[in-house]
């Protein structure tokens, strides 16, 4: 039996509004516990080619930031244990930081991920979020030095997104002794480990070292293979079973 939770990453509105719903339903019906919904952004810094292309496609089809709330509501209807929303700082600032956090909290979002908010210059994001019933999830990377790790710990985050390597999403990630050493430094936090997760052996290696494994590009590639909601469901179902079970 799987001993690590799965957080599946979907770009909101991709490959279409109905296709997105089909992908989310396939993931929940396959036993995925946690949903991470990305608000599409035109100039991402952490996204690999698959997720970047998905964001661009969603924006071309007319996705707007306010549309995220219908995605959150649908995820809640499906019964995901947790729903996290990920986007970039530019969107948060244009929306209004505190209003963004408040609206997400009102929508019963579990947590927020803004990867381009560095812990030393977050414009008050983590402090503001601490006043609401959700978790602001900072991003940790293997190259963080001891000073920045202490700064991270000083935020007292409930959970942390551990990017298992430098660079962008999508490329295969080797999980080795260095990875384990990095995760050990985060052991006082609830760790959601991602970047390049697409195989069962990676999940097995992360068991007992992370609370959840994040699967994103692998699912996005599957969702991109068809525009039909029925086909999207089948492709995503097959992809998550190939990776997890």
Q: Which of 36, 82, 122, 237 is catalytic?
A: 36
C-alpha torsion angle, residues 73, 79, 81, 82 (rounded to 10): -20
pLDDT at position 113 is: 97
Q: What share of the chain is helix, strand, coil (3-state, %, to 5)?
A: 45, 15, 40
**pLDDT tens-digit profile of 100-112?**
999 999 999 999 9
CA distance 209 to 183: 7
106 given a catalytic annotation: no
pTM of the model: 0.94
Enumerate domains of the chain plus CATH numbers: 5-244 (3.20.20.70)
* Annotated active-site residue in 18, 33, 43, 47: 47
Q: Is the model more confident about 45 or about 89?
A: 89
Strands of 159-163's sheet, edge to edge? 135-136, 111-113, 82-86, 34-38, 5-11, 212-215, 190-194, 159-163, 139-140
64-95 pLDDT tens trace: 999 999 999 999 999 999 999 999 999 999 99
What pLDDT score was predicted for residue 167? 44
Q: Is 237 a catalytic residue?
A: no
């Amino acid at each position: 039996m799987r001993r690590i939770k799965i957080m599946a990453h979907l770009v909101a509105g991709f490959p279409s509004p109905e296709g997105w719903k089909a992908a989310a339903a396939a993931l929940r019906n396959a036993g995925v516990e946690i949903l991470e919904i990305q608000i599409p952004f035109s100039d991402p810094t952490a996204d690999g080619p698959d997720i970047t292309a998905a964001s661009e496609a969603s924006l071309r089809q007319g996705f707007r930031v306010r549309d995220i709330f219908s995605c959150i509501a649908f995820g809640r209807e499906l019964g995901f244990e947790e729903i996290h929303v990920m986007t970039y700082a530019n969107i948060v600032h244009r929306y209004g930081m505190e209003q963004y956090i408040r609206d997400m909290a009102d929508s019963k979002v579990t947590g927020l991920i803004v990867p381009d908010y560095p812990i030393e210059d977050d414009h008050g994001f983590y402090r503001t979020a601490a006043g609401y019933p959700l978790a602001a999830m900072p991003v940790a990377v293997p190259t963080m030095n001891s000073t920045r790790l202490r700064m991270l710990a000083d935020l007292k985050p409930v959970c942390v997104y551990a990017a298992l390597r430098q660079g962008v999403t999508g490329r295969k990630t080797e999980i080795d002794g260095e990875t384990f050493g990095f995760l050990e430094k985060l052991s006082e936090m609830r760790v959601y480990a991602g970047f390049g997760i697409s195989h069962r052996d990676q999940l097995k290696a992360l068991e007992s070292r992370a609370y959840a494994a994040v699967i994103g590009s692998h699912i996005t590639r599957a969702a991109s293979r068809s525009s039909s909601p029925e086909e999207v469901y089948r492709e995503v179902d097959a992809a998550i079973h190939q990776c997890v079970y």
